[in-house]
Amino acid sequence: MTKIRLYSEPFSKTGNIAAEGFKRLLGRPTLGLMQTLVREAIQNILDASQAESGPSISIRLRTLDAEQKRILRERVFAERPDSSASDAINLSLAKSTLRVLEFSDFGTEGLSGPTSADAAHEGQESLNFINFLRNVGSVHGSSNSGGTYGYGKSSLYSISSCATIIVDSQTQHEGNDTRRFMACHLGVEFDAGEGRNRRRFTGRHWWGATEGLDYIEPLVNEDARNIAAALGMAERDKKQKGTSILILDPSFSDDEWSLAGSHIIEAVLWNFWPRMVETTPANRRLRVSVEVDGLPLDVPDPEYFPPLDLFSSALNKIRQESEDVKSIWCERPKKLLGHLVTQRGMRADRVGVALLDNSIVPKQANHIALMRPFGLVVKYLEGSALPDPRFEWAGVFVCSDDSEVEQAFSTAEPPAHDDWIPENLPKGNRKTYVNVALRNLRDIARPSTSITSNLTTAAGEKTGSLAATATKLGVFLGEVSSKGPGKKKREFSGGSAKELQRVTQPRFEGLTLNAQGNPIARFAAELHNDGKDSGLHLIAEPYLVADGGPINSADLPESYVLRIEKITLGELLSSEYCSSLHVAEKEGSLVIYTSTLPNAAVGLKLHLKPGGPV
């Protein structure tokens, strides 16, 4: 068994970056530390993705048991820095309750490549190991990656009370499978040694193998596997390439610990939903699980997590090159900068982690998600909220994948990749591209004129005013799609019943007239069906909305009860005034029409009932 030794980095005669300088490399992110941590950790995982099915990530918050704490104290950190400035490690290891936050990825290439930073590189092998554990601020080799590798990793240390992480990686080097284990700590500069041997140290420390070396190497293969297993890190065999990063003693209070998993989930969803939606290609789709002290937490699909349902719909239209896509151009020089879609609808009730106090998820969406083709949300550009709080809108802008344009937006990002700052670019075409795009998007999100008409009053007007009603609603809710209902049946490759039989959140599309000349509301939704239940029925339940929530129909007089006018699914049509539709094995685009009332807003709930008649 290889003994784990400490290596403290001395300053070279030509200088090094000090640990304190390393910590400041993120600059001043516009996001909170938890969001920044989640963004940077997952972004680097996506950049290293290799699997045909896309990467999967396990995020675990756990409390170490007595044996795991002993392993840390007596084996991993048996040798500790002399500097009193690194006493934080001693304080953490002495805690009776010691917690860790662990990010584990599967389906990536792991921390591959040479382990020595001065090794010659012919471009034949990635430099993931040295870029993550040795160097600072190396640029990704991929032209379609999230950004600069290494700056953001300082957030991993920042959330640790003792600025310490432990890394375990299954990877390949020179064609051979290899396991690597190393621990790292960021302290402060200090002096050590006696007489002529006294020298200055950077404050960066590593734990690994030093036998016969004047520097540090990772533990490898069986030694690495055994120590990782002893610490309870994610199990993996040689074929399950990827990396586990264990953040020691995250700086959460007991109250924060109980909610940390939920805050991680909302950070994952809010920043990475473009890589999690159903329309993302399999080799790019991200799968995330979150666990707190052995208890799995639910990570909802973005399509079922308002307002991400609206953002997801907008992104899908861009991917499908829908007629609703708006191109954003620069006129001088002439250049396509990207594509925008805005999606508007009734404000759906928030669910799950969006109900947390101080949630990052807005109560009423009025934002454009800005992103590069990579699929990470750079930021949300806030626009003007709709005057009626029962409605909301969401937009998505994806910059062009033209190399010059994409590089312009990439370079405009700060180290935390959480903004587009034209001032980061020198004068020239690229700066113009970013400026023009942001100006156009701001003009769209925050128009100089706003509609202040009473929406519910407009909705209650009769036939003669339907054009005015539709005009007013159109400003808020957009136009009804001209595409007909129905779509090709999808092929399924397994999954839970929830995934194989479901109906999306209904979205309000506008008003039309029924045969009697009364305004009726039109809603649309998507039905996904594995075709295994010939008795499957769709149930539609309209309701009145007040103060942002539904009104119980039992509390209303009969004249205020809403009814379903009709439901269509392709060629299927429900009976008149019937609130159910026998869908059997079919799937596709649903259109539901419901009655309306004067001076009232209408909502709609959809659910599936298996087997038999309703």
3-state secondary structure 535-566: CCEEEEEEEEEECCEECCHHHCCHHHCCCEEE
Binned at pLDDT 50, 70 and 90, residue 120 comes out as low
142 pLDDT more than 60: no
Instruction: Tell me the pairing of strands 164-173 and 148-149.
Output: unpaired
**pLDDT grade for 317, boundaries at 50, 70 and 90:** very high
Query: Is residue 408 over pLDDT 90?
Result: yes
Taking the C-alpha atoms of residue 600 and residue 360, their distance in angstroms, rounded to an integer, is 30
Most confident among 178-192, 485-499, 537-551 (mean pLDDT): 178-192
The pLDDT value given to residue 1: 77
Q: What's residue 53's pLDDT?
A: 76
pLDDT at position 192 is 82
Q: Most confidently modeled of 187-196, 231-240, 556-565, 570-579?
A: 231-240
User: In this prediction, what percent of the chain has a pLDDT beyond 90?
Assistant: 53
Q: Are strands 377-382 and 335-346 parallel, antiparallel or unpaired?
A: unpaired
The confidence score (pLDDT) of residue 122 equals 65
Alpha carbon of 241 to those of 42, 131, 180, 544: distances in Å?
Answer: 16, 18, 11, 52
Beta bridge partners of 245: 103, 167
Report d(CA 101, CA 228) in Å as an integer: 14
| Residues 6+ positions from 414 with CB-CB distance below 8 Å | 27, 29, 421, 424
For residue 276, name the pLDDT band (cuts at 50, 70, 90).
very high
Q: Quick one: which of 418, 317, 309, 306 has its CA closest to 364?
A: 306
The whole-number average pLDDT for the span 484-492 is 34
Q: What is the pLDDT of residue 26?
A: 46
Q: Report the 3 state secondary structure along 5-54.
A: EEEEEECCCCCCCCHHHHHHHHCCCCCCHHHHHHHHHHHHHHHCECCCCC
Task: Specify whether the CB–CB gap between 209 and 6 falls below 8 A.
Answer: no
What is the predicted pLDDT for the residue at 40?
A: 87
* Residue 71: pLDDT over 80: yes
Cβ-based neighbours of 436, under 8 Å, separated by 6 or more: 328, 330, 331, 337
Instruction: Please count the other Cβ atoms lying within 10 Å of the Cβ belonging to residue 213.
Output: 12
- Among 511, 470, 467, 537, smallest CA distance to 602 is for 511
Place of tokens 């007239």: 513
User: Do residues 392 and 347 make contact, with C-beta atoms less than 8 angstroms apart?
Assistant: yes
Q: Categorize the per-residue pLDDT at 191 as very low, low, confident or very high, splitting at 50, 70 and 90.
A: confident
Structure tokens at 84: 């009193």
In this prediction, residues 508-519 reach a mean pLDDT of: 82
Contact 291, 61 (CB under 8 A): yes
Per-residue pLDDT averaged across 304-323, rounded? 95
Helix count (H) and strand count (E) of the chain?
A: 14, 28
Report the half-sphere exposure of 444 (CA within 13 A, side-chain side). 23
Peptide bond into 281 cis (omega under 30): no
Q: Is the pLDDT of residue 551 over 90?
A: no
**How many angstroms separate the Cα of 81 from the Cα of each of 123, 198, 204, 305, 512?**
36, 15, 10, 47, 73
How confident is residue 177, by pLDDT bands cut at 50, 70 and 90? very high
Print the SS3 string covering 164-205.
EEEEEEEEEECCEEEEEEEEEEECCCEEECCHHHCEEEEEEE
**Would you say 519 and 593 are in contact if contact means Cβ atoms under 8 Å apart?**
no
Neighbours of 598 (CB within 10 A): 11
**In sequence order, what are the residues at sequence separation of 6 or more whose Cβ sits closer than 8 angstroms to the Cβ of residue 525?**
503, 504, 505, 506, 507, 589, 590, 592, 606
Residue 404 above 50 pLDDT? yes
Domain ranges of the chain: 7-251, 308-445, 455-609
**Least confident span in 358-362, 522-526, 552-556:** 552-556
561: left (phi over 0), alpha (psi -120 to 50) or beta: beta
DSSP code, position 576? T
The residue ranking higher by pLDDT, 291 or 40, is 291
The span from the CA of 548 to the CA of 545, in Å, is 6
Tokens of 563: 């009814």
| Average pLDDT for the chain | 83
pLDDT higher than 50, residue 146: no
Between vectors from CA 283 to CA 277 and to CA 284, what angle results, nearest 5°? 45
Taking the CA atoms of residue 35, residue 38, residue 39 and residue 41 in that order, the dihedral angle to the nearest 10 degrees is 150
pLDDT over 50 (residue 494): no
Give the residue carrying structure tokens 């600059």: 27
Helix (H, G, I), strand (E, B) or coil at 86: helix
Radius of gyration over alpha carbons of the chain, in Å? Answer: 28
- pLDDT in the model for residue 21: 61
Give, in degrees to the nearest 5, the angle at Cα 508 between 553 and 614. 50
**538 pLDDT above the threshold of 90:** yes
Per-residue pLDDT tens over the stretch 197-249: 888 888 899 999 987 777 899 999 999 999 999 999 999 998 899 999 999 99
**pLDDT-derived band at 366, boundaries 50, 70, 90:** very high
| pLDDT for residue 29 is more than 70 | no
Average pLDDT over residues 287-304: 96
Residue 400 has pLDDT above 50, yes or no: yes
Q: Decide if pLDDT at 486 tops 80.
A: no
Pick from 145, 152, 136: which is nearest to 103 by CA?
152
Residue 467: pLDDT over 50: no
d(CA 570, CA 504): 16
**Residue pair 218/182 in contact by the 8 Å Cβ criterion:** yes
Q: Note the pLDDT of residue 104.
A: 97
Residue 451 has a pLDDT of: 33
- Give the contacts of 539 (CB within 8 A, at least 6 positions apart): 579, 580, 606, 607, 608, 609, 614
Do 545 and 559 touch, CB atoms closer than 8 A?
no
- Lowest-confidence region among 91-95, 448-452, 520-524, 550-554: 448-452
Please report the pLDDT score of residue 475 as a whole number.
38
Q: 199 versus 419: which is more confidently predicted?
A: 419
Both tokens of residue 612?
Answer: 């038999």
Q: Give the model confidence (pLDDT) of 32-70 as tens digits.
A: 888 889 998 998 888 878 767 789 999 999 999 999 999
DSSP-derived pairing of the beta strands 366-371 and 391-399: parallel
User: Could you report how far apart the first and last alpha carbons of the chain are, in Å?
Assistant: 67
Check: CB of residue 519 under 8 Å from CB of residue 594.
no
Can you give the pLDDT at residue 15?
A: 64
CATH code of the domain made up of 7-251: 3.30.565
What token pair was written down for 330? 């620069």
Lowest mean pLDDT among 31-40, 129-138, 586-595: 129-138
Q: What share of the chain is helix, strand, coil (3-state, %, to 5)?
A: 30, 30, 45
Report d(CA 245, CA 240) in Å as an integer: 15
pTM of the model as a whole: 0.74
pLDDT confidence of residue 14: 66
Residue 612 dihedral angles phi and psi, to the nearest 5°: 60, 170
- What's the rounded Cα separation, in Å, for the pair 361 and 384? 16
- Supply the pLDDT for residue 244: 96
> Is the pLDDT confidence value at 304 over 50?
yes
